[in-house]
């Protein structure tokens, strides 16, 4: 049976190089003037709109939240790349 001591790893955390490379590619792509404009449009068009409104089908909210998560993932990858 595992205890709390087993949760503390003795190994250093090493980020997945493929993930790091992908983050850098996102940062380069959306770091250009055109990329910044596209990301701003995506944020306004998808993220800054209501996910669901009363009277509409509930599945619309799930669908819209999926769209929003794509924008959040892009922005998170850009932030992570800037930390490196």
**Tens-digit pLDDT profile for residues 15-26:** 799 999 999 999
Sorted by where each begins, the domain ranges of the chain are 14-83
| Number of helical (H) and strand (E) elements in the chain, helices listed first | 3, 0
d(CA 11, CA 40): 40
Nearest residue to 82 via CA among 43, 27, 25: 27
pTM for this entry: 0.75
**Tens-digit pLDDT profile for residues 27-58:** 999 999 999 999 999 999 999 998 888 999 99
d(CA 24, CA 16): 13
């Amino acid at each position: 049976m595992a205890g709390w001591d087993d949760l503390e790893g003795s190994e250093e955390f090493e980020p997945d190089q493929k993930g790091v490379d992908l983050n850098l590619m996102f940062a380069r792509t959306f770091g250009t003037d055109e990329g910044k404009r596209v990301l701003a449009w995506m944020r306004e068009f998808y993220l800054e709109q209501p996910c669901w409104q009363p009277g509409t089908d509930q599945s619309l909210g799930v669908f819209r939240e999926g769209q929003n998560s794509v924008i959040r993932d892009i922005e998170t990858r850009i932030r992570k790349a800037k930390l490196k």
